[in-house]
Amino acid sequence: MNGKINVTVWNEYRHELQHETCRKAYPQGIHVAVGEALLEDGAFDVNYAWLDKDAEHGLSQELLDKTDVLFWWGHMAHGEVKDEIVDRVQKRVQEGMGLVVLHSGHKSKIFMRMLGTTCNLKWREVGEKERIWNIEPAHPIAAGLPEHFELPHTEMYGERFDIPTPKDVVFITWYEGGEVFRSGVTFERGYGRIFYFAPGHETFPIFYDKNIRKVLVNAAKWAAPRIVREIPCPCVKPLEEIKTKLEE
């Protein structure tokens, strides 16, 4: 309506309510930190939804129908997301909605559903340093970012990351503890674009980092629908005259 991109930020929103350290890092929840990064840019309208918001985890068909890009952060309660809501989100992504999956969302139902793999990886939580290398500086998601940037304290997510070969590997991470990770990767499914971004642990203030926020903004713009359309399976008439048609 107003020319803005409609983003819905979905957060599991359990850690922040249950754990003091998470609440300190994200007093209003991770979703609000992500949403504020987007609002700051000015190109977006932002809605919030979370697991326990209502019986549909806040993801009504009506909200999804007007959502251009859905952000997803989940961790401890992936299994509680109802399959029918995952179906709904998947269909909407296939029909053109963008999907940005953050950090521990790698094991969310929706992400595994879109990719078909386990999305397993190695992990470690000791607050080590992470350096993110910008492998595709010409990619829209890397716009305006330096050739590398650092997070002082992060959870390690290490290879092998069990994903299909990405469309683009935008970022590769170096970890102080000795691992590497394809930390920013893109996929396309149906008419929808998908971006997975690894940083974003619930106890580190990563979503306040200016480079991380730049990635969130870029990703939301990049993932905005190019078309939104149902995907039919029609029986069609021949366009050319057919000579070999069987007589029955």
87 binding a second copy? (CB under 8 A): no
Q: Is 59 exposed, middle or buried (0-12, 13-18, 19+ CB in 10 A)?
A: buried
Structure token pair of residue 221: 């713009």
Angle at 115 between CA 172 and CA 59, to 5 degrees: 105
134 binding a second copy? (CB under 8 A): yes
CB of 164 to a second copy, least distance (A): 6
Q: Which is nearer to a second copy, 27 or 116 (CB)?
A: 116
Binding to a second copy by CB under 8 A, coded x per residue (else -) over 11-40, reads ------------------------------
182 binding a second copy? (CB under 8 A): yes
Segment contacting a second copy by CB under 8 A, of 11-19, 53-61, 120-128, 206-214: 120-128
Task: List the interface residues with a second copy, window 100-119 (CB under 8 A).
Answer: 107, 113-118
In 190-226, beta strands by DSSP E = 192-197
Q: Which is nearer to a second copy, 185 or 216 (CB)?
A: 185
Count of residues touching a second copy (by CB under 8 A): 79
Which residues face 181 on adjacent strands? 173
Question: For 26-134, where are the alpha helices, taking DSSP H only?
Answer: 30-41, 61-66, 83-94, 109-115
Q: Do the beta carbons of residue 195 and residue 17 sit within 8 Å?
A: no
Of the residues 3, 20, 55, 239, which one makes contact with a second copy according to CB under 8 A: 239
CB of 176 to a second copy, least distance (A): 5
205 binding a second copy? (CB under 8 A): no
Picking from 78, 79, 114, 118, the residue whose alpha carbon sits closest to that of residue 93 is 114
Q: 110: Cβ–Cβ under 8 A, 6 or more apart, which residues?
A: 72, 81, 86, 89, 90, 93, 99, 101
226 binding a second copy? (CB under 8 A): yes
Of the residues 17, 66, 152, 208, which one makes contact with a second copy according to CB under 8 A: 152
Return the DSSP state at 137: T
191 binding a second copy? (CB under 8 A): yes
